[in-house]
Amino acid sequence: MATMVELTTQHEVETGTSADLVAQLRRSIVSRRARVGVIGLGYVGLPLGVAFARAGFEVLGFDVDGGRVATINGGASHIPDVPSPTIHAAVDDGFLRATVDMGQLTDVDVINICVPTPLSKTRDPDITYVVAATEEVARSLRRGQLVILESTTYPGTTREVILPRLEATGLRAGEDFFLAFSPERVDPGNTQYGITNTPKVVGGIDKRSTELAALLYRQAIETVVPVSSPEAAEMVKLLENTFRSVNIAMANETALMCDRLHLDVWEVIGAAATKPFGFMPFYPGPGIGGHCIPLDPFYLSWKMKTLNYRARFIELAGEINAEMPHHVVGKVVDGLNEFERSVKGADILVLGVAYKPDIDDSRESPALDIIELLRRRGARVSYSDPHIPAIELLGAALTSEPLTAERLSAADCVVIVTNHRAFDYNLVARHSRLMIDTRNTLRDVPTTNGAVVVKL
């Protein structure tokens, strides 16, 4: 039976003014009575939902994957950064539940959209998932709800794509419902910075939306940074990842230049990093991977093309970073030549297919490009990765092989692509004849007589 407070609250939502709606939502957020909905329970949505649940909010997660929903409701996690005991506790305490029923969006007070935003084959933004999620929200939208987009996208998406679809219901943003953008800043595998201690940027469609979204996040996150608009918040995320992409490209090009100058790029960067001002070290590698750095800058590049402006740094950085897998394959070819061995028919073992150390995510991993390029040259390529038991590549399924002395000894070449801590690099150095070290992992590891280590 509903209490008098609940009946009064519902009456305020149905008949109150905009000021009443703001006041009611503010009270609900501060008292933790607001129900939080999260659409998309992947690497972004699940940690966010758990953070709100741990802060005392009732969280309802939405996902189209029934298996994922069942896993969460069973008290288990499919995300390494969110331990299963944490999910189990939140579910048992009644603070977290997942569903595939989008109709239940009408039952929540806050809706966070955390769906993927990939690129098309032509590097154009694909906001299909954002549009689909927005249409589901519109079907259930009611007065007094706060809607927040967290998916990375180009500046203008919140105002130009989401706002019109929600206002087509007849409700008005800033008066009947509230709308904001807050970019996700999830860094899988980062043990120092997680969802609660990474500052949260928030930009609303109007002042009320900004204030309400900021108030919500302050209940679960230590620092909240309001900005003037959703466009500013959207641009913040793209700047962050463009900064990394461009600087990694600079480090990669430095590696290519040092290679031609017969210099050790790691020595050069290490010495430069001793300068206490005016220099921030970035390091080269076999390419870039993950969902953010290879993709996000091109959202900005695409947007600028619509304004007749060419984002030259973004495009050049993309070209340099995309060439690094070819550079690694060239190192493999040259190394095999030193042993009078052709790459065609060579037995090559790739260490690590995750896009970064100690995670189980292979999205956009340069290892996949390296494997594909080597196989096209006729090499027999296998891989070892303790975090990723199987991958699908060119229509063929590959499974991870155990890293043993026998397997290393049998390989004509070992390519270290992802420097997982779980790898025994002393074992690698003792039993491999030829090692292509793209991460400078073997810098302090002794090798056996006759073994060759080729750096990036």
- Rounded Cα distance, 277 and 298, in Å: 30
Contact 300, 238 (CB under 8 A): yes
Contact 413, 345 (CB under 8 A): no
Out of 114, 258, 292, 413, the active site residue is 292
Contact 99, 60 (CB under 8 A): yes
β 110-113/434-437 pair status: unpaired
Catalytic (active site) residue 292: yes
Contact 286, 417 (CB under 8 A): yes
> 102: which DSSP letter?
G
> In this structure, what token pair is assigned to residue 250?
């600079």
Dihedral (Cα; 376, 380, 386, 392), 10-degree rounding = 40
The 3-state DSSP class for residue 237 equals helix
> In this structure, what token pair is assigned to residue 402?
């155990």
β-strand partners of 96 = 59
> In this structure, what token pair is assigned to residue 116?
């993927």
- Crossing angle of helices 296-306/230-260, nearest 10°? 110
> In this structure, what token pair is assigned to residue 344?
């065609």
Active-site residues, by number, are 292
